[in-house]
Structure 1
Amino acid sequence: MTRLAVIYIFVELILIIFAVITFVVWDKRYRKNHGIDVPRGFEKTEEVSLDPNSGEKLRVYFNSKTGERFYHTEK
């Protein structure tokens, strides 16, 4: 019975660690290229989203050579 409890706690810890790491990685990926100046090679798209935390409009720019996206704050 004790062994089953240890296995259960171990699995739960692994799931919690995985969830935290996933959130941190996603958040960095989303925020890493959010800035003021649009880099060279990026083209304006029609995609605009509203940041739920700050309420700012974010315009998406796309680099067709690298596939990278850039989020620019619009006023």
Structure 2
Amino acid sequence: MRIRIDRGRCQGAGQCALNAPELFDQSDDDGLVVVLDDRPPPALRHKARLAEQLCPNSVIRVLEAEDDG
């Protein structure tokens, strides 16, 4: 699994950091998403998927394949 973000579309709603703080944070400078771990361990993969679903701007993509390039 790999997490990708489109930071340019992020508006800083913070749902990712609120629901998956082990994987996401918000920048102190602009409040936009920061990925803390783009290859989450198996125990946190459900949180990555939840953050993807809850993002109001759809800036988070969770790629399931390990060799996503």
| TM-score normalised over the length of structure 1 | 0.25
More helix as a share of residues? 1
Largest Rg, 1 or 2: 1
More strand as a share of residues? 1
Which fold has the larger relative contact order, with Cα–Cα distance below 8 Å and residues 6 or more apart in sequence?
Answer: 2
